[in-house]
Amino acid sequence: MHPILGTWDVSLKTPIGTLRATYVFDDVSGALTGTASTASETVALAALVCDGPRVTWRQSVTRPMRLNLDFDVVVDGATLTGHSRAGRLPRTAVTGTRRDQASGDTRC
């Protein structure tokens, strides 16, 4: 069981303000999949890797500007903390809270 499975309310503290998104992580036939949604778009997550409580992924967004983001977070029960990065731009702090309690397991 992946520790990240479920629906998450996530905040990204960027230089232009705090952005909020809903992330949904699922296990499809043993493969970890996910999406990120805001009011303006929903994007698929790529290169999802779970290593114990640490989870990394990539995603592309077009709003508020076109960026390719790399995420690195640590899941601790119903919370996640970490950062995202877009190329040479400074790191963005990422925090999240799980909406459901589908998994408290920290194994991948």
pLDDT band at 101 (very low <50, low <70, confident <90, very high): low
* Selected residue with higher pLDDT from 90 and 79: 79
Provide the residue ranges of all domains of the chain, joining segments of one domain with +. Answer: 6-98
Rounded percentage of the chain residues whose pLDDT exceeds 70? 92
- pLDDT tens-digit profile of 40-74? 999 999 999 999 999 999 999 887 788 899 999 99
DSSP 8-class letter at 49: E
Distance CA 98, CA 105 (A): 13
Fold of 6-98: Lipocalin (2.40.128)
